[in-house]
Amino acid sequence: MTVRPMRSADRVWAADVMAASEPWLTLGRGRADALKLLRNRRKQCFLVRSGGERAGFLVLDLHGPLGGYIQTIGVAPEMRGRGVGSAALAWAEAHIFKTHRNVLLCVSSFNRGAQRLYRRAGYEVVGRLRDYVVAGHDEILLRKTLGPLSRSSSQRTRRTTERNRRQRKPL
Ligand SMILES: CC(C)(COP(=O)(O)OP(=O)(O)OC[C@H]1O[C@@H](n2cnc3c(N)ncnc32)[C@H](O)[C@@H]1OP(=O)(O)O)[C@@H](O)C(=O)NCCC(=O)NCCS
């Protein structure tokens, strides 16, 4: 699997996949919405290739208040169930964890397959956004973390003490 930033034609391809697939059908997100998202310059859009073919896509938002957000992950229907989605998820996490301590994402309450995938990948449910996109279906907020944003004060004191001892400085 390889991942590279999307080009113009990739955005059209990904929008076509989204417009024809769950969960976007139930969520009422059509091709125009998908294209708008994929052309949004605040998002990072990546094409996932497998065996030299377009296989899937990722839309990441690294500007959110809580961490890096995986806004969209999708695999072309004919490429599903072969590990592409899991590998793309792992790649997105590694990319986000270079600069953030948390990865967040939402999965629709009816999207049981994707929920299994995220559970296997170690995501924790941290919230439920009721009737968020459409009435009758919730968005489940998931989180994977490297740990707290800041070290605790006791950890900081311990580290300073150790550093001072190494440098033979009086405390
Ligand atoms: C969810 C998705 C990205 C997973 O990609 P994938 O390449 O099929 O995933 P993998 O082969 O690495 O893993 C397969 C697992 O994905 C999940 N999955 C979800 N929908 C699936 C589908 N239509 N076909 C196969 N697997 C699917 C399952 O958990 C499956 O494993 P399991 O059923 O044995 O528990 C892909 O199925 C997809 O694009 N689905 C439609 C869009 C979507 O739901 N995106 C996530 C929005 S939060």
Q: What would the pLDDT profile of 39-77 be if each residue is shown by its tens digit?
A: 999 999 999 999 999 999 999 999 999 989 999 999 999
- Alpha-carbon distance of 56 to 74, in angstroms, equals 5
pLDDT beyond 70 at 171 = no
Pick the CATH number of 2-167 from 3.40.630.30, 3.30.40.10, 3.30.70.270, 1.10.10.10: 3.40.630.30
What mean pLDDT do residues 83-103 have? 98
pLDDT beyond 90 at 113 = yes
Tokens in use for 33?
């919405």
Spacing, Cα 66 to ligand 1 middle (Å) = 25
- The pocket around ligand 1, CB under 6 angstroms, is made up of 21, 23, 73-75, 80-86, 107, 111, 113-114, 116-117
Question: Which residue in 101, 110, 104 sits closest to 139, CA to CA?
Answer: 110
What mean pLDDT do residues 110-138 have? 98
Spacing, Cα 144 to ligand 1 middle (Å) = 18
Spacing, Cα 118 to ligand 1 middle (Å) = 10
73 beta partners: 58
Reported as a pLDDT band with limits 50, 70 and 90, residue 154 is low
Reported as a pLDDT band with limits 50, 70 and 90, residue 153 is low
Average model confidence (pLDDT) across the chain: 93
- Alpha-carbon distance of 88 to 108, in angstroms, equals 19
